[in-house]
Structure 1
Amino acid sequence: MLGVKSRNLGTVPVTTTRGAATTGSGGREVGMAAWDLRPCGMLVQKRNSDVHQNKTIVPTIRVKVKYGSSYHEVHIKSQATFGELKKMLAGPTGLNPLDQKLVYKDKERDSKTYLDAAGVTDGSRMLLFIDILTQEKRVLENVKTAKIDKASTQLLEISSEIDKLVKQVGNLEIEIYGGKKVVEKALLNLIELLMSQLIKLDGIVADGDVKLQRRMQVKRVQKYIEFLDMLKIRNSKIASNGNECNVRAPLQRLNKISFE
């Protein structure tokens, strides 16, 4: 047996016999599994590699749930929550977990409650009902969300069409301010197309941000229509030979108008 001096333990005999115990200062027994002799002569405590190997095994239990006239048997971990059980019942029952109400021992159970904490064991039985109020509230929220999504899509499509018309307005502006007389019908057609976009915008029913964006697009289209009316006046003052007649008041250019 080899004796090794340790600062904290005094002289601690170390044996090479596996599983044998050694005696430290004060008569304490020190097991070989707890200490290790390093090559430098230092005695250190061993890490117990078996600590993490002895994990508690969570048992799987069998729960019977009655929904209407049908029974559904579910195999689930005993430490799972009622919310997890609802998710497992969504498939066989066709019910959204948010619309489910689980009753165990004549008491509705919260989704965050653990099964074992509520006393659920292997073979336990419980009842499943539809939460009508929650279901109606969720349906209304889904309808509201669908309307907002639809309004946003419509607004995006209309905005894209307006952008295309704006480019045409810009092209006509360049020609007219360049002294070229354009066919009046081209101006009238653009005004008519912009008016049709106003009608589409008026048909969008929305709240919040979508409503605000719709209002901004309406003002934007109205200002473009006003600007086209101004271009009509200027265009009428241009002679067919390209010479511009005197205009009493200078008109604003498109790029100087604020459309916001």
Structure 2
Amino acid sequence: MMRVKTKATGLAPVANGGGGRGESAAHDLELRPGGMLVQKRNPDSDRNSIPPPTIRVRVKYGSIYHEISISSQATFGELKKMLTGPTGLHHQDQKLLYKDKERDSKAFLDMAGVKDKSKIVLVEDPISQEKRLLETRKNAKIEKASKSISQISLEVDRLAGQVSAFETIITKGGKVAEKDLINSIELLMHQLLKLDGITADGDVKLQRKMQVPRNPDLPKANPYPLIIQN
């Protein structure tokens, strides 16, 4: 019988596809509040094939409690949006406190230890509220300025067209009533002054800059004093 000799290599057996894979798996774990190691959750991916359980949380706002049914794996930001209706408070103006600690909107309820019938406190965030109101006013001002510029632009185009038509008639030897010509010019200049008085920034400022008469050489007064139709 032939004997096969084996030679010891001194290498330790490789488990689970190598140490690198084990280290990678370790990085994919996170510690739950109860001390249990679980796989990390990616908020941008499908969290679980099985729908997470729904829990009921009691949210205190002032002296009133609101009971909200929500997924146990939802975020505090999602809870804020659900509270907008019953509280009338914009979700950006809310602060949620759980166990006397403010919770980030991106944090998950279950990761913070929130369970069924847990109590959460809702308070107003005056700083965020002020910032949002200022932003709202700013946007309203921009919208109003943009609308005014558009309206003035239509009138400027109309009046500039009239003046241009008068110029064409006069150039061809026709006659134009001095009153009509001067009136059109004055109305046009009035609209340009209104346009110049609009304060704007960014895109609206560029919009205002573009709203100039198509003819930059529009007369400032009646240049044809002898060409008058009686």
TM tier, shorter chain? 0.7 to 0.9
Q: Does 1:202 align with 2:196?
A: yes
1:33-182 aligned within 5 A = 55-182=49-176
Q: How far apart, CA to CA, are the structure 1 residues paired with 2:100 and 2:90?
A: 22
| CA distances 1:46-93 after superposition (whole Å, capped 9, x unpaired) | xxxxxxxxx534211110011111111111111111111111111110
Query: Could you list the runs of 5+ residues in structure 1 that have no partner in the other structure?
Result: 1-54, 241-260
Select the residue among 222, 230, 236 that pairs with 2:225: 236
Question: Which amino acid letter does the alignment assign opposite residue 152 of structure 1?
Answer: S
Q: Helix, strand or coil for the counterpart of 1:62?
A: strand
Q: Which has the higher contact order (CA 8 A, sep 6+)?
A: 2
Q: Helix, strand or coil for the counterpart of 1:72?
A: strand
Larger C-alpha radius of gyration, 1 or 2? 1
Specify whether residues 238 and 191 from structure 1 end up closer, same or farther in structure 2 by C-alpha distance, changes over 3 A only: closer
Native 8 Å contact 2:95 2:122 kept in 1: yes
Displacement after TM superposition at 1:151 (Å): 0.1
Q: Helix, strand or coil for the counterpart of 1:102?
A: strand
Native 8 Å contact 2:76 2:108 kept in 1: yes
Query: Considering only aligned residues, what root-mean-square deviation do their CA atoms show, in Å?
Result: 2.2
- Please name the residue that 1:51 is paired with: none
Q: How far apart, CA to CA, are the structure 2 residues paired with 1:119 and 1:239?
A: 88
Displacement after TM superposition at 1:224 (Å): 5.0
TM-score of the superposed pair, with normalisation by structure 1? 0.65
Percent of residue pairs bearing the same amino acid type: 59
Q: How far apart, CA to CA, are the structure 2 residues paired with 1:103 and 1:239?
A: 80
Q: How far apart, CA to CA, are the structure 1 residues paired with 2:55 and 2:209?
A: 59
Select the residue among 177, 183, 186 that pairs with 1:189: 183
Report the number of matched residues: 182
Q: How far apart, CA to CA, are the structure 2 residues paired with 1:239 and 1:70?
A: 79
TM-score of the superposed pair, with normalisation by structure 2? 0.72
